[in-house]
Amino acid sequence: MKHRLSMITVLPKIFISRALSRIVFACGFVACVAICGCNSNTAPLPDTPEQSANGSSTGAFAPDNRADCLPAIDLVDQHGKTVALATLKGKPVLVDFIYANCATACPVLTSRFAQIAGQLGSALGAKVTMVSITIDPEHDHPAQLLEYAKTHNADRKGWLLLTGTPADIEAVLRIYRLKREREADGTIAHVTTSFLVGADGRQIRMYDTMEVAPATVVGDIDRTLPRGLAKG
């Protein structure tokens, strides 16, 4: 299966190479990936990701923009309900991009999100929302996304899987400065970055989802909330 580079990249080369190597190792296929920040006020990120106490990469990157990443665009969730992205403001939102018939990278990405969801526990839905947006709206309708959720441990309260018209999905991708490109066989290049968006719709963190520890993401979410995750 071929996957071509189809995203505009602003992340450091080391990040992309790590994502590629992890996809090949985990899935046995080559996926070409590139990731960006939002559409406005975007500048290249630092050459290295944030470091842990022992000097290793955390898989987390500080965004370099103040664009609104929860725009007034209506999508549809896995239950057929219309969801205006702007209505998700008021809580932190963790966002990634997948597609349901992907058999390589996407299940790995969703598995990592499921680990994060497990650590969030009852805070998922109550204090934070998780959103997975399809990059294959032509094939991913609510029924397909619901089946994907049920078979990938993503059928949880507070975790939305969203689709929409191709025009609406591409409008969202443009806000994140992403674009999709379909191969002749129908496959689409993957996006292995996830985004932590604050209650105001502004990015707080970007993650190499293949690398970041779930506890790192949960810790960032905890620090985002005025009273943290554990307190009522």
| pLDDT tens over the chain, length 232 residues | 433 334 443 344 434 444 444 443 343 333 333 333 333 222 233 444 555 544 447 889 988 768 899 999 999 999 999 999 999 999 999 999 999 998 888 999 999 999 999 999 999 999 999 999 999 999 999 999 999 999 999 999 999 999 999 999 999 998 988 888 776 776 788 888 899 999 999 999 999 999 999 999 999 999 999 888 976 5
Q: By C-alpha distance, which of 163, 5, 205 is closest to 73?
A: 163
User: What domains lie within the chain, and their CATH numbers?
Assistant: 13-37+58-224 (3.40.30.10)
**One-letter amino acid of 153:** N
- Where residue 201 falls (left for φ over 0; alpha for ψ -120 to 50; beta otherwise) is left
- Could you give the C-alpha distances from 211 to 15, 38, 90, 146, in angstroms and in order? 9, 21, 28, 26
Taking the C-alpha atoms of residue 48 and residue 67, their distance in angstroms, rounded to an integer, is 22
Q: Are strands 129-134 and 93-98 parallel, antiparallel or unpaired?
A: parallel
Neighbours of 205 (CB within 10 A): 24
pTM value is 0.78
